[in-house]
Amino acid sequence: MCRKVNPVLLACPVVILSGAALLSDAVAAGMTVVVMGAYLASLWTGRWWFFLVSTLVSVLSIPILTSELLGLWGIFLTLPALPAIAFGLQSVAIPLLPSSVPVQLRPSSLAVSTMTALACGLFIAVVAEAILLAASCALLLVVFLAALFIQYRRLGRYPLLVEVLNSRVRAGTEVRRQIVVRRACRSCCNMSIRAPAGVKVESVSRLRMDGDTIDVVLSLTPLLGGPKDVNLRVSVSDELGLVWVGQSFHVLHLKVIPRARAAQAAAMRFLERGELGEGGGDYLAGDIAVVADLARGGEYMTSRPYVPGDSVRTVDWKHTAKLRSLVVKTFGESSGGTVLILLNRGVSDADEADRLVYRFLSGVLAVVGLSQSAALGLYGDGKDERIGPILEGDALVRRALDVSGEVRTGMEWGSVLQPVSLQRVQARSARLRRLSGETASRLSTLLGIEERAMQTGCMEDSVGKLMRGALQRFYPAWCIAFSAMQWDAVSLLSELRRLETRGVRTLLVDVGKKSNARASRA
């Protein structure tokens, strides 16, 4: 355990200085009062840097103030004040821990700066022939060197031990794991933890280790592509902050389970039992909630006051603003209809493929759970674009499982800029044409060129052809698109926006890296 400084010992410098002030002349007594005031003020306010400096000044002043009474023996009155110096060192040790992990065991910047200051004071005192000040500086310097040597030996090269924790986690799901750090040195220590990118230390990253063990809680969201091993880098110092050492730990080994496996298991369970079963809703709750919210697509009936649990999508903002209280819309029964589900099978890496399959199967199960029929539209990955037959129930789930196996990774490219739909570019161009001025005219010309290029691209793109082919066969009630929003981003946004203008409800599930796989309206 760390040795706590007895609060009574913190009063020693004040008591000794008070006695010395009574035996000194007026000038020395005034200086003593200033030093005592600084000492007590810094101790009361918790300004530990100022407290450490004022303590050192007090200790160096004691032999000088008592020289007329004790002579050279006054330097030994500094010894009862050493616990106050130790308390000041402990107070500033944790904030001074280095942000970069030291490579090897070495003196800390606090120890180096303090001993350098004492050595300079000793040199100046010798040159000025101030024997008492020189003796005080020499005594403190010897004490610091002895403490540095003792702490160097007690801390050791490897002061901490950590056992590797093996854990099974699902990709894309935030997890929290508790790591037990054990003390291997013979004294307590301070430590500063540096976690790698993507790993967050939920407990305080700078802390004092008083006992034999301490718990560190880590939170992270593992990716399918890794990293599978989590390493921590720790800066460690002794209790006085005189010695630093760095350690690296392998603390966590992850066995990452693909999210797609959970969705496939839920789909197989549906085929066997006819329902998602216990736990299926837990895996897919977010997607089911998003897609099921589209089922409120019946005719608008009336509005009513908001009650807790109502979806934010049903808020009637017009009546809310008029009545100054939250109002929601109520709908009649949905008229049903066929759902068009679009899937871009091309992704850039394993993580995107995992997100795509997970979200796609989740959406299909949600549609089946709402007793809706659907047709699957497939494109991307260099394969033929096609619209499948209209299926429902078990047949739709089986088809979705087959299609999920067609997702492949490849060299997919995407836009650096945020993609926009053709309709938005047309609206901007129309607003510019209504403005006067040379700048507006030039911008309108540039947007006109972009508009014509986008129109040509949408007409020749596989997404546009697929959508037009679907509309020739049936008129969908919904359209749900799953894509990583890469080369198809502009065409997909434009086609979904065109469907919305025709009264078709749309949902875009973006599984790209920048989107964090969030579902949104097109």
Q: Which domains does the chain have, with CATH numbers?
A: 7-155 (no CATH), 160-257 (2.60.40.10), 335-520 (3.40.50)
Q: Would you say how long the chain is, in residues?
A: 522
Cα 61 to Cα 16, 19, 346: the distances in Å are 10, 13, 78
pLDDT of residue 517: 40
pLDDT of residue 505: 78
Distance CA 276, CA 35 (A): 76
Mean pLDDT to the nearest integer, 210-221: 83
pLDDT of residue 299: 53
Give yes or no for residue 288 having a pLDDT over 60.
no
Give yes or no for residue 28 having a pLDDT over 80.
no
Count CA atoms closer than 13 A to 42's CA, side-chain side. Answer: 24
Burial group, residue 1, by CB count within 10 angstroms (0-12, 13-18, 19+): exposed
Give yes or no for residue 41 having a pLDDT over 50.
yes
Residue-wise pLDDT for 61-76, tens only, equals 888 777 777 777 777 8
* Selected residue with higher pLDDT from 428 and 392: 392
Residue-wise pLDDT for 73-119, tens only, equals 777 878 888 888 888 888 888 888 887 777 788 888 888 888 898 89
CB atoms within 10 A of CB 242: 24
Give yes or no for residue 244 having a pLDDT over 80.
yes
Residue-wise pLDDT for 135-189, tens only, equals 888 888 998 899 889 888 888 888 888 888 888 888 877 888 888 888 887 777 7
In the chain, what is the greatest distance between 2 CA atoms, to the nearest angstrom? 110
- CA-angle at 151, arms to 150 and 154, nearest 5°: 90
pLDDT of residue 276: 59
Mean pLDDT to the nearest integer, 11-39: 75
Tokens of 273: 């039992």
Distance CA 293, CA 366 (A): 10
Distance CA 340, CA 480 (A): 6
Cα 515 to Cα 355, 414, 418, 483, 519: the distances in Å are 11, 13, 11, 11, 9
Give yes or no for residue 2 having a pLDDT over 80.
no
Least confident of 230-234, 296-300, 424-428, 434-438: 296-300
Mean pLDDT to the nearest integer, 234-262: 86
pLDDT of residue 293: 54
Distance CA 232, CA 150 (A): 28
The dihedral through the CA atoms of 362, 368, 369, 370 has a sign that is positive
Burial group, residue 334, by CB count within 10 angstroms (0-12, 13-18, 19+): middle
Residue-wise pLDDT for 321-343, tens only, equals 888 888 877 655 444 578 888 88
Least confident of 22-26, 208-212, 303-307: 22-26
- CA-angle at 134, arms to 8 and 151, nearest 5°: 55
Residue-wise pLDDT for 252-276, tens only, equals 888 888 888 888 888 888 888 776 5
pLDDT of residue 518: 41
pLDDT of residue 6: 62
How many angstroms from the chain centroid is the CA of residue 294? Answer: 32
Which range in 17-21, 360-364, 406-410, 461-465 is most confidently predicted, on average pLDDT? 360-364
Q: How confident is the model at residue 215 (pLDDT cuts 50, 70, 90)?
A: confident
Average pLDDT across the chain, whole number = 77
Give yes or no for residue 297 having a pLDDT over 70.
no
H-only helix segments in 163-303: 259-273, 280-292
* Selected residue with higher pLDDT from 476 and 295: 476
- Nearest residue to 29 via CA among 37, 39, 41, 17: 17
* Selected residue with higher pLDDT from 219 and 500: 219
pLDDT of residue 180: 87
Mean pLDDT to the nearest integer, 188-192: 80
Give yes or no for residue 463 having a pLDDT over 50.
yes
Which range in 134-143, 348-357, 402-411, 510-519 is most confidently predicted, on average pLDDT? 134-143
Mean pLDDT to the nearest integer, 489-493: 80
Distance CA 79, CA 288 (A): 73
Distance CA 215, CA 499 (A): 55
Cα 205 to Cα 185, 249, 299, 512: the distances in Å are 20, 15, 55, 32
- Nearest residue to 341 via CA among 389, 282, 270: 389
Q: How confident is the model at residue 284 (pLDDT cuts 50, 70, 90)?
A: very low
Q: How confident is the model at residue 459 (pLDDT cuts 50, 70, 90)?
A: low
Q: How confident is the model at residue 457 (pLDDT cuts 50, 70, 90)?
A: low
Tokens of 495: 């086609």
**448, 307 Cβ separation under 8 angstroms:** no
Residue-wise pLDDT for 378-425, tens only, equals 887 666 677 888 888 889 889 989 888 888 776 555 554 456 565 666
Give yes or no for residue 367 having a pLDDT over 50.
yes
**43, 53 Cβ separation under 8 angstroms:** no
Burial group, residue 266, by CB count within 10 angstroms (0-12, 13-18, 19+): buried
pTM of the model: 0.64
